[in-house]
Amino acid sequence: MISEEVRKYKGENKKDVKYYNVSLSDVEQWLGMGIDEELDHVEFEQEYEKRVKIIEKAIDGNDDMEAFFIMTMENKTYDEICQELGWEKSKVYKVSEKLKGKVIDYIKQK
């Protein structure tokens, strides 16, 4: 069961997330592929947003992954995530790895 702190954090911050804060390398890592750097700026941003939406759909309903992804998109460090969510660092690593696997499984199903 998700902790009350995670619920509170998600409720307060979900509306304010700006998708351009998540690092490109995080999106590439989670999706296992790079974005063609030869695309013009508009196409690049569209592809980037598409990939972020894929991640959101893949993790929908998993409170831990959603909280982790929101905080990652806000450029929080693993230490900050641990502090704000009350998690051990090992949990942050496990959630990160599970998120990557969930996204890959979601893509394979499509």
Q: Would you tell me the crossing angle of helices 89-109 and 78-85 to the nearest 10 degrees?
A: 100
> What total number of domains does the chain contain?
1
Note down the domain range covering 101: 4-109
**pLDDT of 20 higher than 80:** no
Query: What's the pTM value of the predicted model, to 2 decimals?
Result: 0.68
The band of 22, judged by pLDDT with boundaries at 50, 70 and 90, is low
Calpha distance 97→29 (Å, rounded)? 11
pLDDT, position 92: 92
Choose between 49 and 65: higher pLDDT. 65
Residue ranges in 4-88 assigned as alpha helix (H): 4-13, 24-31, 41-59, 63-73, 78-85
